[in-house]
Amino acid sequence: EAGVAQSPRYKIIEKRQSVAFWCNPISGHATLYWYQQILGQGPKLLIQFQNNGVVDDSQLPKDRFSAERLKGVDSTLKIQPAKLEDSAVYLCASSPSGPPTDTQYFGPGTRLTVL
């Protein structure tokens, strides 16, 4: 079965610019997650979708980050405007169903560098 797909794999932008990341989960997976992984740290959950509804976005910096999951399949994560501290790998993950007590499968990530 195909894994979680993400694009682009790498992105370099200047601070205050905007950027968008795309994720295509494993077919049939109801739950989709966006994580931020800063170098040397573990992944931090930004937002969790169940189908096309938001389950948890308590750690999403809503003044600059936004995410959507149209039709309960693909998802996009946007940063506008970017700050230096947003430099990180953005990981998308999906799981077959409900709460996270279900195996999460990660995509390859998008490495963002903000200059």
Q: What is the DSSP letter of 51?
A: T
Say whether residue 22 binds other proteins (CB under 8 A).
no
Q: What is the DSSP letter of 52?
A: T
How many whole angstroms separate alpha carbon 1 and alpha carbon 37?
Answer: 26
How is residue 32 written in tokens?
Answer: 């989709």
Say whether residue 56 binds other proteins (CB under 8 A).
yes
Provide the minimum distance between the beta carbon of 2 and other proteins in the complex, in angstroms, as a whole number: 14
Say whether residue 43 binds other proteins (CB under 8 A).
yes
Q: What is the binding site for other proteins (CB under 8 A)?
A: 4, 40-45, 48, 55-56, 58, 91, 99-101, 103-109
